[in-house]
Amino acid sequence: MSNTPDPEPLRWVKSTYSAGEGQCIEWAPDHAATTGVVPVRDSKDPNGPVLHLSPKGWAGFVKFAADQA
């Protein structure tokens, strides 16, 4: 996790697996495509910590979320 801002602003996208009850996460697909690191944050706290996942970690996270639906 990191609270250090990236040198360039990231384009954040709300996950399609986010629920409508405010349980939303956002990720930065452009950054992931260029660096191989998937930043993830809580959409309710855009200035809060950012979790940086590997592509494999992100895939596991998405699978877990899909399995919970």
Enter the pTM of the model: 0.75
Q: How many domains does the chain have?
A: 1
Summarize the confidence of residues 36-62 as an average pLDDT.
Answer: 93
Which domain, by its residues, includes 58?
A: 13-68
- Cα of first residue to Cα of last residue in the chain, in angstroms, is 26
Q: Is residue 7 part of a domain?
A: no
The residues near 12 (Cβ < 8 Å, ≥ 6 apart) are 26, 27, 28, 41, 43, 46
19-46 tens-digit pLDDT: 666 668 899 999 999 999 999 999 889 8
6 in any annotated domain? no
- Whether 45 maps to a domain, the answer reads yes
52 within a domain of the structure (yes/no): yes
Is 18 contained in some domain?
A: yes
